[in-house]
């Protein structure tokens, strides 16, 4: 990607996504994608890494939720379209980009999980002392795109209408609020399927984040526990 001159007047945002093995109780990151963007959804820099220490543990990788995609990673690595690196290398690239663009906000769809998975991976590989975001020059704010979207997009009657038309509901009758559903709604591509690979998912999450900002609505930002309840509660109250 061509290096872009950094406009210091902008408030840049880091959007990241992880894919993990080890189950929900012990998530270990084997795919880390991240991108620097602005509130309009323009991407200025992006990185995609397969984490060597985790991915090369073949037995562990069978516990990955998307283990079916392992052959795709093997093919991409063989063809050079993905890069196999140490967790330390990936972490350094992340921190360096944060500092280069003077980023103050880190974001992800379900940020709480990404943060937990990264912290768990660092602890597993390096012990208690080393933190994933240590070395970042500025105090970092946390913004969960899932929470943001549940506040300002999925609470809209226009979304509810499309959700009913497309049957975007769980077996329990709750509206689905995944990034895949968000992108289907925003893009109009009703059969869109999320890649569930780091950088590819980041790119749609950047688009969802930009759509959230474009609503110009009040929101809590940060991270909200169980954000899916917000649009379901709003719809039930109508």
Indicate whether 2 pLDDT > 60: no
**Least confident residue range of 3-12, 101-110, 152-161:** 3-12
101, 124, 144 — which closes off a domain?
A: 144
pLDDT tier, 1 (very low <50, low <70, confident <90, very high otherwise): very low
Domain range for residue 134?
13-144
> 205 and 138 in one domain?
no
Identify the pLDDT of residue 4.
59
115, 144, 173 — which closes off a domain?
A: 144
Indicate whether 141 pLDDT > 90: yes
pTM, 2 dp: 0.94
CA 48 – CA 97 distance, rounded (Å): 13
pLDDT in tens, 156-207: 999 999 999 999 999 999 999 999 999 999 999 999 999 999 999 999 999 9
What mean pLDDT do residues 129-138 have?
87
> 230 and 122 in one domain?
no
Identify the pLDDT of residue 3.
55
> 161 and 91 in one domain?
no
> 153 and 134 in one domain?
no
The residues, ordered by sequence, that sit 6+ positions from 148 with a Cβ below 8 Å of its Cβ are 209, 212, 219, 221
CA 109 – CA 215 distance, rounded (Å): 18
> 159 and 120 in one domain?
no
């Amino acid at each position: 990607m061509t290096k872009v001159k950094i406009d210091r007047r902008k408030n840049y945002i880091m959007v990241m996504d992880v894919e993990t093995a080890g189950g929900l109780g012990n998530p270990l990151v084997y795919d880390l994608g991240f991108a620097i963007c602005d509130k309009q959804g323009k991407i200025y820099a992006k990185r995609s890494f397969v984490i060597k220490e985790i991915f090369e543990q073949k037995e562990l990788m069978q516990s990955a939720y998307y283990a079916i995609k392992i052959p795709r990673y093997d093919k991409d690595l063989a063809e050079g379209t993905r890069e196999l690196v140490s967790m330390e290398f990936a972490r350094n690239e992340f921190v360096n980009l944060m500092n280069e663009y003077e980023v103050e906000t880190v974001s992800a769809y379900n940020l709480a999980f990404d943060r937990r998975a990264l912290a768990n991976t660092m602890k597993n590989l390096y012990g208690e002392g080393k933190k994933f975001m240590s070395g970042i020059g500025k105090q970092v704010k946390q913004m969960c795109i899932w929470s943001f979207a549940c506040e300002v997009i999925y609470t809209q009657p226009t979304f509810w209408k499309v959700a009913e038309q497309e049957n975007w509901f769980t077996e329990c009758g709750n509206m689905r609020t995944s990034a895949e559903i968000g992108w289907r709604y925003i893009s109009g591509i009703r059969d869109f399927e999320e890649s569930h690979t780091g950088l590819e998912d980041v790119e749609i999450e950047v688009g969802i984040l930009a759509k959230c900002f474009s609503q110009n609505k009040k929101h809590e930002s940060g991270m909200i526990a169980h954000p899916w309840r917000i649009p379901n509660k709003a719809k039930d109250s109508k």
